[in-house]
Structure 1
Amino acid sequence: MLLNRSSSGGRWRIRPDGLAKVTGSLAYLTDMTHDEMLYGLVLRSEYPHARILSIHTDKAMQLPGVHAVLTYLDVPGLNAFGIAHPDQPVLCEDFVRYVGDALAAVAAESLAIAQHALELIELEYEILQVVDDPEKALLQDAPKLHPQGNAMHRTSFSRGVPDEGFKQCAHIVEETYVTPRQMHTYMETEGGLFVSCNDGRLTVYSPTQHGFMDRMQLARILSKPQEDIRIVSSPIGGSFGGKDELNVQPYGALLAVKTGRPIKMHNSRQESVRAGLKRHPMKITMKTGVDEKGKLVSHQVYIISDTGPYSTLGAEVLNFATEHVIGPYKYGHLDVKGVSVFTNNGMSGEFRGFGGNQAIFALEGQMDRLAERLGMEPWAFRKLNMRQLEDPGPFDQPIAMTEGAEQVWRAIEKSDLWQERPASKEPESPGSEPWIKTGIGAAFTMHGAGLGVGIPDPAGGRLALAPDGKIEAVFGYEEFGQGLIATLEQMLIEQYGFGAGDIRILIGDTDIVPDSGSTTASRATAMMWKTLQRLKKPFTEQLLMRAETLLNRSAEELRLSEGGIRGVSHESLLLTYEELAKGDQPPIRCETSFSFPISSTDRVGAHFMYTYSAVAVKVELNALTGRVKVLQQYHAVAAGPVVNPQGYLGQIEGGSSMALGFTIMEDAVMDKGHYITRNLDTYLVPTIVDQQGLVEVEPIEHLPENDEYGPRGIGEVGSVTLAPAIAAAVRQASGKWVTKLPIEPSFLQEEPFFLKKE
């Protein structure tokens, strides 16, 4: 099966939420209003690093129309948040550490009044030295941004004696790779509606990827029981990891509780840029050596990650990068070290790929350079060094076995695009425009799914027959554009035999759903599949047993189907689900809970389940302008059975679009702790024009016979391998190795041929 936009077939279904989205009728959480609502705004620091000497709010409070002005003194509980490491102040008390730090929150009857109130707050600072270079931040004389110093987290993994190994090498490649600070650029910026009820409960309508984690954090901040807080978190207009952490929720919640009035907050794009998370910029130095036959002997890596002023999941991102700079290859000697560093730059945090994008760009770059040194075909070199079916994972941990590595390698090798690659390394200059050159490159990865060892990773869900006869599928996940609702509907139709009209999907409301874990880390599809597999037998049995009683026929003669119960041997409908639900009978309800599968190792962050992917691309390089255009993409993805073909293709296309931006155009540039790119007029992202080239996806659905884990996640794998594939294609087109992203056009520009001297 080869998927592209011309694909068709019975399993290509219209998304249940598709019509409302494309017509604009779908109400997002930030669209919500309330008759009695006030508007909330946050006062943020104008300096990246300063000591707070005083905050005076009297004038703001006296402004007509202002209902509340809050500072750190008004936080009743923990004045900090952070999913794993709560070190980011809700409202700063003594220091500001980046230009997005919050100092005060205001609630007023209009946005104009709220903005005026912010302007009336008087602040006195002592300006401090800005720490904007992670390497300099590690020096002994650098200002300490936190009491424990600027090294937020360190990682290491080693095997053998690399220095001795390098003495045995016939070829050694040493290179440093630099990756950018990328924005999530979701269409819906952070915001929501916060409603404090008369009974003391608080309802939060705000985008998040883990409602129960938000509830836990807000309970600590508000000093309230978690049960007194309700989080409604879908639908969401994009997230990609950026809304995994709290953003406006602490301020909307505090203002709602203080005023007793609903509070509406919605960040402007500039506010989102200033305060929101970005992809971690990384500097990855690698030294890799091979013997004369091409076998990898020694691999040495040092990662420096700029986490910004506070932790969020910076440690976990570094753990992931550390695992993935080792990747799918085997080495005799290995030494990987990493450090995540506090700086006064913007907040870095969760982003689609989670450190894999940076790591795989560097690792695959090394593989291509070594193959060229050896004079080997790049895929032959990879195959020689690839982990085999029974081999452990990058941290020597047991992993779920698949033949995915070999399968995607073979698919790329047989693809029309790779077959088109010229045998010569000379760049092609088609037609009468010698400054236009083309190249074809490819890259490979194994990308971990789930949160890894040592991190709580709950899963589960519920099925019920509702009083109106609807089959309710209840999960604690969020729909933020990835097609979760469509995929879940497809699973219920194919696994149980229901029709789309029989199903009601309930997600993203902590009052009614179980904790299914975070909608992150390429885990939701796999865990929904596993949940439905676990529930199938007990739920089906309960439905058929009740039908047996009502129909006076053996349950073995009955089956579930679209619309209701039918006989095993004929198609006529015997009993509708609505009829099955009538009467005074006890409710039919089945629930399960379990944990995402992890490796039996004590290595924190080690993954057990992997998705394998290989990407081939064809690029066009204009040597006069240095601009790169991607003409064609071919993705081979080994992730088990395809549940929703349209969603599968959409995930790979969407991920590759973000990767295209990461590779050739996106960088949230900062200077001395201030953003230079503050809005989308200067921060450019790929549009449909940049994605006009053909994208083909070949899903490899085979899993080992006894595999019990089902489909692997693909939400991230489409985004992590494109950059090194483009870099390899650029090498063929230009003869130049790319080490820094996004690719600078000036780096690839050549002197015009008509100016060259003979």
Structure 2
Amino acid sequence: MDNPGTSEQTSGRETAVATRPPADSGIGGSPLRPDGILKAKGAFAYASDLWADDMLWGATLRSPHPRARIVSVDLGEALATPGVEAVLTHEDIPGRNLYGLETADTPVLAAGEVRYHGEPVAIVAADHPETARRAAARIKVAYEVLDPVVTEEQALAAGAPVVNPHWPDNIVSRQPVRRGDPDRATADVVVRGRYTVGMQDQAPLGPEAALAVPAEDGGVDLFVATQFLHVDRQQLAPVLGLPEEKVRLTLGGVGGAFGAREDLTLQAHACLLALHTGKPVKMVYSREESFLGHVHRHPAVMDYEHGADRDGRLVYVKARVVLDGGAYASTTAAVVGNAAGLGIGPYHVPHIATEAIGLVTNNPPCGAMRGFGAVQACFAYESQMDRLAAELGLHPVEFRQRNALAEGGVTAIGQVLDSPAPVAELLGMVRAMPLPGEASGTGGRPDPRELPGGYSWSTRGEGVRRGIGYSVGVKNVAFSQGHDDYSTARVRLEAVAGEPVATVHTAAAEVGQGGVAVWTQIARTELGVERVVLETPDTQVGSAGSTSASRQTYVTGGAVRDACRLVREEVLRLAGRPGNCLLRGGKVTAADGLALDDLADVLDGHTVEHTAEYRHRATSALDPETGQGDAFVQYTFCAHRAVVDVDVELGLVKVVELAAAQDVGRAMNPQAVAGQIQGGGMQGMGLALTEEIVVRGGVVVNGSFTDYLIPTIADAPAMPVQILELADPHAPYGLRGVGEAPTVSAAPAVVAAIRDATGKALARIPIRPEDLLGD
């Protein structure tokens, strides 16, 4: 890789920036993450480790029913429990008993009716966590149980019960996409299919946790594991009946997110208890409660029809995508927009008639999860692409390449791709990768680690067949459809003990993605200093938006860069140097490399600080009738090739290899980029094979890691990654968001490989062993 720390590609010309310090600690290097060693040693402080003197513990009583009227609530036994200091219901909320990311339709505590299994009804504060839990169990709630609305047919039937009064027709969002005239288009080959995606959970290893501390000014300080500090505050303040300036949030250590922490969970409950008791209150969910307490990936039922000509060119696509959003809206409308706008994949199709619909039901609420609507659609359209390729007698990669979008192409929503779109190239890269060898032998027997069933020795190799499958997916980066998406960063440069030190302060939530490394890399590159301090993210600095939509490196990286450049300009003015000088290696340096001044001497007695706000280019809402519009800031593409071994007699699958190729624009931190691609691939593999929240009659029946099966290290395949760097001229440093695209394309590749091994149609994920058995 060329040294990317010395120049920035901007609209086709080279612009000088500060050369990074040695040891690859700037842009393009892979320095150690500042939190990495602590996390590896188990010494990192997560939100669940927070503590305060005289602290109480909070617990939540949740509904056992997916739909019921609340007849009465008796708090007597709970209040009489020794050690209990508060028991609250909706009647004790000082402000508004509603919140929501896009629409305030979700009660903080149920009032009159519960609408899903696990909905919070009451909260308790006590001097010990077990006391709080026992007291919550002693609250007596009388319910009138009602028949839940749990299917599309029930939700859309004439005279159907209204699940949520905010959505009287049980529809949160409906988005069609229309281009050309599919009804008049003629195709030589037509394939139709119905595809189903189950409800996947984000399953972050760190459960929800927060510590709320009442403040002397009547406000509250909340330390919380979240993805979106400022929007949490916007939702909390009306609930607490406080102005926003009296609700202060600080990020606690986050043990993974993937969308599960975008919505409020325990934030309002902890704050209500703290303000009511006048004491700090800590809340930490158990694993079982976590499964009930946060949103999940939308399950989907998708009907697709593709038509192609004999030359292997797509002619038309018709589709209907139905997403079950559960009882409350959360981000369903945005997920619908993505499923519609990205619903035919990274392909050129002249005639399109598709529609995505988001429903409310009495199933658990669904919202943001890695891939955000694109994952479900990709499984359907890539399954269709394989079927068309088979009908036409073409290799699945060749067929995709014939129809692949490229720079200058027009997407389904009519948006022109004005940056590199190497879809065909990425497919060619994964196809060209060397294939793994067959399972190795150990003492004449196959190594069980390399066979389906692994160490259980379920498989001896006799019924094992190998399959290979391909997929490519597309995902948008950053908030879309006209959303005012920006980030703020504050950068300070000063001399400390004779050494220049940069301090970076943003509200960007570090949830494991590695922003804490990238912000330091940008500061080192732009300011030429080695020592960079990161302040804890909080609401005392301007909003950085959510750590979601693969957007933080783009927008917060842009804000940190711009703040650093403002600082650099002022330092050069202090030094009395011309504008073509740089800060490099702790020196003010001329453009020819001549060191002019010691930076610490220039800063002596001066603190230089600047705040910058970075906004990406504008987007527009999709037209409600045609689905056309420049809705997305940036597109990102990833291709996968999966190699699997399947025991067709036992229905067991071993993913041998999951190879990926992705265009990242600019690899800001190559090691982190590869890790994001591999991690996203593993989550896609989990969706393909094992991960599903099982809901029966609206009730979650597998809310634990005993029954909800995420892939372990023993399941991890070989995961070679090829990184392509084709700069996006509209993005800071030319980068592209990375983290979501691999999750989009991984599951379809795994399923395609299993189809190749078994010959079975496999139209539903996750695949179950019984799906692989029989004729």
1:510 to 518, 539, 553: 539
Q: 2: CA distance between counterparts of 1:707 and 1:642?
A: 13
1:450 to 478, 492, 501: 478
Contact 2:554–2:731, Cα closer than 8 Å, also in 1: no
The alpha carbon displacement at 1:119 in A equals 2.7
Give the structure 2 partner of residue 545 of structure 1. Answer: 573
- Does 2:552 match 1:524? yes
Give the structure 2 partner of residue 17 of structure 1. Answer: 35
Contact 1:400–1:609, Cα closer than 8 Å, also in 2: no
1:654 to 671, 675, 679: 679
The alpha carbon displacement at 1:597 in A equals 2.6
The alpha carbon displacement at 1:707 in A equals 6.6
Q: Deviations over 1:67-120 (max 9, x none)?
A: 111111111111011111111100111100112111111111112322232233
Contact 2:348–2:410, Cα closer than 8 Å, also in 1: no
- Does 2:171 match 1:142? no
Give the structure 1 partner of residue 316 of structure 2. Answer: 298
CA 1:163–1:559 in structure 2 vs 1: closer, same or farther (change >3 Å)?
closer
Give the structure 1 partner of residue 763 of structure 2. Answer: 739
Q: Deviations over 1:281-306 (max 9, x none)?
A: 10111011112222212211111111
Moved more, 257-266 or 57-66: 57-66
Give the structure 2 partner of residue 713 of structure 1. Answer: 737
Give the structure 2 partner of residue 317 of structure 1. Answer: 335
CA 1:709–1:574 in structure 2 vs 1: closer, same or farther (change >3 Å)?
closer
Contact 2:554–2:732, Cα closer than 8 Å, also in 1: no
The alpha carbon displacement at 1:52 in A equals 1.0
The alpha carbon displacement at 1:574 in A equals 4.7
The alpha carbon displacement at 1:254 in A equals 0.6
1:624 to 607, 626, 649: 649
Q: Deviations over 1:235-269 (max 9, x none)?
A: 31111110011000010011111111000100011
Contact 2:406–2:420, Cα closer than 8 Å, also in 1: no
- Does 2:659 match 1:634? yes
Q: Deviations over 1:387-406 (max 9, x none)?
A: 23212222112444214224
Q: 2: CA distance between counterparts of 1:460 and 1:65?
A: 44
Q: 1: CA distance between counterparts of 2:174 and 2:575?
A: 59
CA 1:598–1:698 in structure 2 vs 1: closer, same or farther (change >3 Å)?
farther
Q: 2: CA distance between counterparts of 1:143 and 1:403?
A: 46
- Does 2:460 match 1:460? no
**Secondary structure at 2:334's aligned position in 1?**
helix
The alpha carbon displacement at 1:448 in A equals 0.6
The 5 A counterparts of 1:27-426 are 27-147=45-165, 148-165=168-185, 168-417=186-435
The alpha carbon displacement at 1:523 in A equals 0.5
- Specify the code of the residue in structure 1 equivalent to 2:474: M
**How many residues in Structure 1 have an aligned counterpart in Structure 2?**
723
- Does 2:464 match 1:436? yes
Moved more, 136-145 or 297-306: 136-145
Q: Which runs of 5+ in 2 are unaligned?
A: 3-22, 439-450, 453-458, 624-628
CA 1:24–1:562 in structure 2 vs 1: closer, same or farther (change >3 Å)?
farther
CA 1:256–1:737 in structure 2 vs 1: closer, same or farther (change >3 Å)?
same
Q: 1: CA distance between counterparts of 2:395 and 2:198?
A: 30
Q: Deviations over 1:351-403 (max 9, x none)?
A: 01111111111111111110110111222212222223212222112444214
**Secondary structure at 2:85's aligned position in 1?**
strand
The alpha carbon displacement at 1:18 in A equals 0.6
1:588 to 596, 603, 608: 608
Contact 2:488–2:544, Cα closer than 8 Å, also in 1: yes
Contact 1:317–1:354, Cα closer than 8 Å, also in 2: yes
TM-score, normalised to structure 2, is: 0.89
Contact 2:526–2:565, Cα closer than 8 Å, also in 1: no
**Secondary structure at 1:311's aligned position in 2?**
coil
Q: 2: CA distance between counterparts of 1:389 and 1:418?
A: 33
Q: 1: CA distance between counterparts of 2:730 and 2:371?
A: 29
Contact 1:135–1:304, Cα closer than 8 Å, also in 2: no
- Does 2:579 match 1:561? no
Q: Deviations over 1:460-479 (max 9, x none)?
A: 32221247452112222011
Give the structure 2 partner of residue 426 of structure 1. Answer: none
Q: 1: CA distance between counterparts of 2:239 and 2:46?
A: 26
Q: Give RMSD over aligned pairs.
A: 2.5
The alpha carbon displacement at 1:705 in A equals 6.5
Q: Deviations over 1:622-643 (max 9, x none)?
A: 1121111111122111120101
1:477 to 484, 508, 514: 508
- Specify the code of the residue in structure 2 equivalent to 1:716: E
Q: 2: CA distance between counterparts of 1:555 and 1:471?
A: 22
Q: 2: CA distance between counterparts of 1:36 and 1:605?
A: 54
Give the structure 2 partner of residue 6 of structure 1. Answer: none
Q: 1: CA distance between counterparts of 2:206 and 2:107?
A: 24
Contact 1:308–1:341, Cα closer than 8 Å, also in 2: yes
- Specify the code of the residue in structure 1 equivalent to 2:697: K
Q: 2: CA distance between counterparts of 1:432 and 1:37?
A: 56
Moved more, 564-573 or 263-272: 564-573
Contact 1:275–1:347, Cα closer than 8 Å, also in 2: no
Contact 2:656–2:718, Cα closer than 8 Å, also in 1: yes
Q: Deviations over 1:547-597 (max 9, x none)?
A: 34xxxxx456954233454566668795354x54432x4x41222213233
Contact 1:241–1:350, Cα closer than 8 Å, also in 2: yes
Moved more, 565-574 or 641-650: 565-574
The alpha carbon displacement at 1:141 in A equals 3.6
Q: 2: CA distance between counterparts of 1:728 and 1:346?
A: 30
Q: 2: CA distance between counterparts of 1:344 and 1:570?
A: 66
Moved more, 468-477 or 738-747: 468-477
Q: Which runs of 5+ in 1 are unaligned?
A: 3-8, 421-428, 549-553, 752-758
- Does 2:515 match 1:492? no
CA 1:285–1:481 in structure 2 vs 1: closer, same or farther (change >3 Å)?
same
Q: 2: CA distance between counterparts of 1:290 and 1:576?
A: 64
Give the structure 1 partner of residue 11 of structure 2. Answer: none
2:669 to 644, 656, 669: 644
- Specify the code of the residue in structure 2 equivalent to 1:734: T
Q: 2: CA distance between counterparts of 1:298 and 1:506?
A: 52
CA 1:598–1:438 in structure 2 vs 1: closer, same or farther (change >3 Å)?
farther
Q: 2: CA distance between counterparts of 1:681 and 1:494?
A: 46
- Specify the code of the residue in structure 1 equivalent to 2:218: G
The alpha carbon displacement at 1:193 in A equals 0.4
Contact 2:213–2:222, Cα closer than 8 Å, also in 1: yes
Q: 2: CA distance between counterparts of 1:321 and 1:609?
A: 16
The alpha carbon displacement at 1:704 in A equals 5.9
Give the structure 2 partner of residue 5 of structure 1. Answer: none
Give the structure 1 partner of residue 749 of structure 2. Answer: 725
Q: 2: CA distance between counterparts of 1:634 and 1:111?
A: 45
The alpha carbon displacement at 1:452 in A equals 0.7
Q: 2: CA distance between counterparts of 1:703 and 1:504?
A: 29
**Secondary structure at 1:163's aligned position in 2?**
coil
Moved more, 215-224 or 285-294: 285-294
- Specify the code of the residue in structure 2 equivalent to 1:662: L
The alpha carbon displacement at 1:599 in A equals 3.5
Contact 1:459–1:596, Cα closer than 8 Å, also in 2: no
**Secondary structure at 2:765's aligned position in 1?**
coil
